[in-house]
Amino acid sequence: MKYKLCEWEDNGYHDSYFYGVYYDTDDGLMHSCGLGATAYGGGVSPAWQECQYPSLEIVECARLLLADHIFTVIRAAEHSDVMDPEDAKVGEVLQLLVPHTRQLKKVIPCHRCMGKCYWQNPRDPKDRRKCFACDGTGAFAKGDAIRDANGKIARETIPAGTRLTTLKVVAYGSFYRKGYNKPGRENRTVTGRTDAGDVISIPLKKLRLARDPMPDSELRARAVTLSHDHQYGAMFGCRAWLSDNYAAAAVAKAKAAA
């Protein structure tokens, strides 16, 4: 038996297309089918014509499938946000994924804040702001390169696992509203202060968040909570509101009668 769960409309530039989701007891899965379009006549799926309105038992079976789907999606997103962040915020703690070798240069103290990293209002002790000249770093690594006894440029390898607190994030390149180049993990550089107090700049692609992903138990609980909204269209590409949600209506009717 097949039971209808929801319907939605996909509004295109010229035409609209209509879709539905139903639960099939034969395989215990949910399926999506076309219900028609303004671009052509007819088009209702034969499977949809066989569908009946769902009972609470059928809705619960579908909700469990939705909870599993939501858990899979948010778990992948959480691991991606932690291990492969696309951006970083000021004050966020990051950690090196791989060793990073940098060229050593003489550090020039900021002439505006004198290395304090902030500007203090002399008339208001509560008014303290980040130095605009050095972006709160307190220094500029723009001096001449440091050389060893043999005259070679000195380099330093920062080991993997080093933690740094983000001071600023810069995306390099030209970005246009319709261009292919967008700010992301591959073209951002993070300037941060390590736990040892050094200010360094490292490509974001070598960094991760300095925390573990949320545990599966917490993500599973969140997925179960979200599944009670009965947004089954999201599993099949619905990006708008549902025009009809038969599953949610069945639950609301049961609650009203209780």
Q: Do residues 14 and 76 share a domain?
A: yes
* pTM reported for the whole predicted model: 0.78
Inter-residue contact 168 to 90 (CB < 8 Å): yes
Instruction: List 20's β-bridge partners, or say none.
Output: 7, 33
Domain annotation covers residue 217? no
pLDDT of 141 strictly over 60: no
Domain count, the chain: 2
SS3 of residue 131 by DSSP: coil
Is 188 in the same domain as 95?
A: yes
Q: Looking at the structure, do residues 149 and 252 belong to the same domain, yes or no? A: no
Q: Does residue 103 share a domain with residue 182?
A: yes
Are residues 23 and 64 both part of a single domain? Answer: yes
**Residue 220 forms part of a structural domain:** no
Q: Are residues 169 and 93 in the same domain?
A: yes
Within a domain: 93: yes
Quick: pLDDT tens for 82-140.
Answer: 999 999 998 999 999 999 988 877 777 777 777 677 778 888 888 888 777 776 776 65
* DSSP string covering 23-68: EETTTTEEEEEEEEETTBS----HHHHT-BPPPHHHHHHHHHHHHH
List, for residues 202-228, the tens digit of each pLDDT value.
999 999 999 999 999 999 999 999 999
Q: Does 216 reside within a domain?
A: no
Residue whose token pair is 């569908």:
51
Domain that holds residue 169: 86-209
258 vs 188: CA distance, rounded Å = 56
Please tell me the predicted confidence (pLDDT) of residue 143. Answer: 59
Same domain, 92 and 151: yes
- With 70 as the cut, is the pLDDT of residue 142 above it? no
* pLDDT at site 45: 86
Residues 8, 100: one domain?
A: no
- Three-state secondary structure of 215-251: CHHHHHHHHHHHHCCCCHHHHHCCCCCEEEEHHHHHH
